[in-house]
Amino acid sequence: MVDESMYRENILDHYKRPRNRGKLAHASCCAEGDNPFCGDEISFCIKAGKGGKLEEVKFDGHACAICVASASILSEEVSGKKLSDARACSKEKLLSLLGIDPDPTRLKCALLPLKVMKLAIYKHLGKKMSKEDEDLV
């Protein structure tokens, strides 16, 4: 029996029609990251607006369905939020939005966008990434 529980409708929808994918003109800061074991490459650009809010977020790159869906869902989740709240987004929160419970290998695919998005915010704020966020992937 085929168990495609990982490829649920929302994952496939975000994979095939990713939100906020592309280049961001006049970005405040960009960051990129990859997972050399599987070949996922993701970049995130953010535009900081008034009141310390994340005015716009865009991601780009080549990655598997889980990674692209995760980046797309994450970009929707953090858009318009305060930079500090976006940076505080937990892996549990992202996984609950994705609605999957990936094995350790695919977990890296799901969490790479979160780490790269956070890295862009850390870079923008001129701060060093916390150990906890560093260890996400």
Partner 1 sequence: MGKAHAHDVGQVASDVGVMVRAGHHCAQPLMEMLGEAATVRASFYIYNTEEEAGRLAKAVKRASELLG
Q: Does 4 bind partner 1 (CB under 8 A)?
A: yes
Number of H helices, E strands in the chain: 6, 3
Residue number, 41 or 55, with CB nearest to partner 1: 41
Interface map 11-30 toward partner 1 (x if CB under 8 A): -x--x---------------
C-alpha 71, offset from chain centre: 4
Residue number, 9 or 26, with CB nearest to partner 1: 9
Non-local CB neighbours of 30 within 8 Å, separated by 6+ positions: 24, 43, 44, 45, 46, 120
- Distance linking the first and last C-alpha atoms of the chain: 31
Do strands 54-62 and 29-35 pair parallel, antiparallel, or not at all (unpaired)? unpaired
Residue number, 48 or 64, with CB nearest to partner 1: 64
Q: Does 98 bind partner 1 (CB under 8 A)?
A: no
Interacting residues with partner 1 (CB under 8 A): 2-4, 6-7, 12, 15, 36-41, 62-66, 106, 109
